[in-house]
Structure formats: C-alpha cells, structure tokens
Amino acid sequence: MTQINRNAVAIHAPIISNKRVGQYNQLIIDIGDLSRLCKPGNFVAIKLGGQSSNMILRRAFAISRTSSSATFGGTMELIVAPYGQGSTWLCAQSEGVVLDLILPLGTAFGIPTEPVKVLLVGGGYGSAPLFGLAEVLYARGCRVDMLLGASTGAKIYAPMEGKRSVNSLRIHTEDGSMGQMGRVTDPIGALINDLDIGVIYSCGPMAMLAAIDAITKDSNVLHQCAVEEAMACGVGICMTCVVPVTDGTGAVSMLRSCIDGPVMDGARVAWDKVGKTL
C-alpha cells in the first residue's frame, strides 16, 4: 500500500443489512474498529462474484458513511446501483454473506478547521457520500446547504435523508419530476452569492464536476470534488483511473484517482483534457 492507503486493511466482513431504497440498495457491513479510520470521501474495494467468478479484479464503491452501535460495533454503509455485473451481484447478497474487502482507500474530503459556509452538490446516487460528510461538517459548526440533482426524481437517492444534517436542501431534476426543473448546477452561481459560500463539495458525473469548476473558476470558492473514474484495481496498480491534473506551473500529469483521489481540488483538474490522450 502507498502512504495514502497506509491504514488500508484486507478483511472479511459480513453484511448485516441489505435494503432496497428506490432504485438503489443500501448495504450495511460490519467492519469493526476500521469504521474509525474511514473518512468522508474514502472508498472500499470489494471482491465480487464468489469463488467461481470470472470477475478477477475488485470493484470500488464509495463509502456513504460509517457508524458504531452497541449491537453491531463499527459498520459501513454503501449505496449501490445494480447496473453492471459486479454491482448486481453485490446487491443480490443476503444478510450474513461475508465479503472480501480492502479499506479504507483513497483521499478524503478536507474538513475546515474553522466553521465556514459550505455547499454540497450531488448527482444521482453519487450524492450518497455527501450525507456522511454533511454530518461531519455540521458537527464542526459549518452552515451546510445541499443541492441534489438527477435526470429524474427516481434517481435522487433518499431525499429525506439529506435533510438530517443540513440547513437547507434543494432538489433539481431535468424532467421536473421532483423539486425544480433544470440541472443541479443551474442555481449554484446565485447560491454562492446569496449564502456567501466558501467551499463546495461535490460528488457525481464528471460533466457535473466540470460545470461546477467553471462556475467557481473566477471566484474565491474552493471546490473539492470526488472524481468518477472507473477503477479496475482500486489500489494504484492498473493505471486505468488516471485523471489529468495540473501543477503550479501549468504542466499536466496523469494522476491515479484511486491514490491521488478520488477527492481532488477541482481547480487543478484539467477538465478539457479528461478522457483524452495526452
């Protein structure tokens, strides 16, 4: 493991709950004392498909939140969309099934040392990690406002869940089936001014993250984003999840989102070069 993943451990952990929530599955997994090492923005790499599976490489899933209780000890929550072969297999697993995990992995969101006004922006089920982040920021004394968006209301994950640790929650859907009609990025410029936002935290599609960066480019607002690049190994070996990032001189390097991310400074990502060969 690299220095970034110095706390990462390979463990076998049982599923203690698997519930369908709208179009997604909410999995609660018993990870014991490792829950204290998991921070908002970290992810877990899971071996999927069972012993006879042809899915050799692990799959990476963002950690929604962690918690502890007298009944189960330390637990981890995952929000999974059953779209591909691996995620569909995971969503089909019942309580008691033991998973092969490596966690915590990747960089986490930076938490302000002093209370600031923050805006959390999430697209689809990619917004799930923002709920745990909101709790941490709220406990730090920050004013926390949240924007959730998707193409349709059915793809907004647990909208009522978002209200627990935020001062306000706004929802935008492209078809107008929930909240306001339009893209989730539409109101950001006005909210920055109206709410005096200092930091934006975002999770969602790369196009959404790029749009937020364009909005904040000429402002003093910091933008921390969790990039969405497919990770084949999740531990920095395969080089499939690279993202073009600039340094202080303007030079662009291809950095691994599993090691140097997934949380990155949005102002440093070369959004016009994402998905292109340098």
List the chain domain ranges: 9-105, 117-273
Say yes or no: domain 9-105 is CATH 2.120.10.80: no
pTM, rounded to two decimals: 0.93
Assign 1 a pLDDT band (cuts: 50, 70, 90): very low
Query: Token digits for 12?
Result: 């076998």
In Å, how far from its chain's centre is CA 38? 13
Q: Please say whether the dihedral angle defined by the alpha carbons of residues 232, 107, 8 and 164, taken in this order, is positive or negative.
A: negative
β-strand partners of 29: 15, 76
Query: Tokens 């519930």 appear where?
Result: 19
Q: What are the pLDDT digits (tens) for 170-205? A: 999 999 999 999 999 999 999 999 999 999 999 999
CATH number belonging to domain 117-273: 3.40.50.80
Query: Of 29, 33, 28, which is closest to residue 13 (Cα–Cα)?
Result: 29
Q: What are the pLDDT digits (tens) for 9-34? A: 999 999 999 999 888 999 999 999 99
Query: Of 114, 40, 31, 5, which is closest to residue 263 (Cα–Cα)?
Result: 40
How far is residue 224's CA from residue 266's CA, in Å, rounded to a whole number?
A: 6
Q: What are the pLDDT digits (tens) for 89-138? A: 999 999 999 999 999 999 999 999 999 999 999 998 788 889 999 999 99
